[in-house]
Amino acid sequence: MAKGKAPRRTLDSYTLRNINKTIKAGDCVLMRPAERSKPQYVARIERIEADARGGNVKVHVRWYYRPEESIGGRRQFHGSKEVFLSDHYDVQSADTIEAKCTVHSFKSYTKLDAVGNDDFFCRFEYNSATGAFNPDRVAVYCKCEMPYNPDDLMVQCEGCSD
């Protein structure tokens, strides 16, 4: 007789022993890539589940994409720490989480005094099937009419204060 699937239960939080941090739904994390030469993946935890004995912990995640992972690739106005919240969901082992991180709104990111390795920002949602962005437009600045890249120095116009 075939064994049935063991019942799983949802956890409010889970402590990752390898980094001694507690994660919960809504937290953003850095996950180990299959190839060590690639950057860590950024994901938002949607739900945490464990088997009946509390082992075999799985995290349901919603992936953030980096600009180079999107259709159209990285553009001049994309910041080095920019990620897009995608419509791509997945289930992963909690053991693949390497660190917690913070994904800021664009506005709060631009106000940070110092940007750490675990700081990212998101100003778009991304549809992985169509390559569409939401919003599909952002404000442009100065004569170049490019969206603001927080990595580039911008000088304020004396006439309009932009």
Range of the domain at 69: 9-137
88, pLDDT greater than 60: yes
Rounded Cα distance, 149 and 154, in Å: 9
In this predicted model, what pLDDT tens digit does every residue of 1-45 receive, in sequence order? 556 566 789 999 999 988 899 999 999 999 999 898 999 999 999
Provide the 10 A C-beta neighbour count for residue 59.
26
Please check whether residue 143 lies inside any domain of the structure. Answer: no
Q: What is the pLDDT of residue 95?
A: 93
Please check whether residue 157 lies inside any domain of the structure. Answer: no
Rounded Cα distance, 50 and 6, in Å: 10
- The sign of the dihedral angle between the CA atoms of 123, 79, 150, 77 is negative
Please check whether residue 52 lies inside any domain of the structure. Answer: yes
Q: Domain count of the chain?
A: 1
64-to-2, 67, 69, 75, 158 alpha-carbon distances in Å: 38, 10, 10, 17, 37
Residue-wise DSSP of 66-83: PGGGSTT---TT--TTB-
Q: What is the pLDDT of residue 49?
A: 96
In this predicted model, what pLDDT tens digit does every residue of 92-103 receive, in sequence order? 999 999 999 999
138, pLDDT greater than 80: no
Pairwise pLDDT comparison (161 vs 50), residue with the higher score: 50
Q: What is the pLDDT of residue 110?
A: 87
Residue 97's contacts (CB-CB under 8 Å, 6 or more residues apart) are 16, 19, 23, 29, 30, 31, 32, 59
Please check whether residue 161 lies inside any domain of the structure. Answer: no
Please check whether residue 93 lies inside any domain of the structure. Answer: yes
Instruction: Read off the CATH number of the domain in which 65 is found.
Output: 2.30.30.490
Please check whether residue 104 lies inside any domain of the structure. Answer: yes
As a residue count, the chain comes to 162
Nearest CA among 80, 84, 61 for reference residue 131? 84
In the predicted model, what is the mean pLDDT of residues 130-150?
71
Please check whether residue 74 lies inside any domain of the structure. Answer: yes
Rounded Cα distance, 108 and 121, in Å: 8
Q: What is the pLDDT of residue 161?
A: 62
Please check whether residue 30 lies inside any domain of the structure. Answer: yes
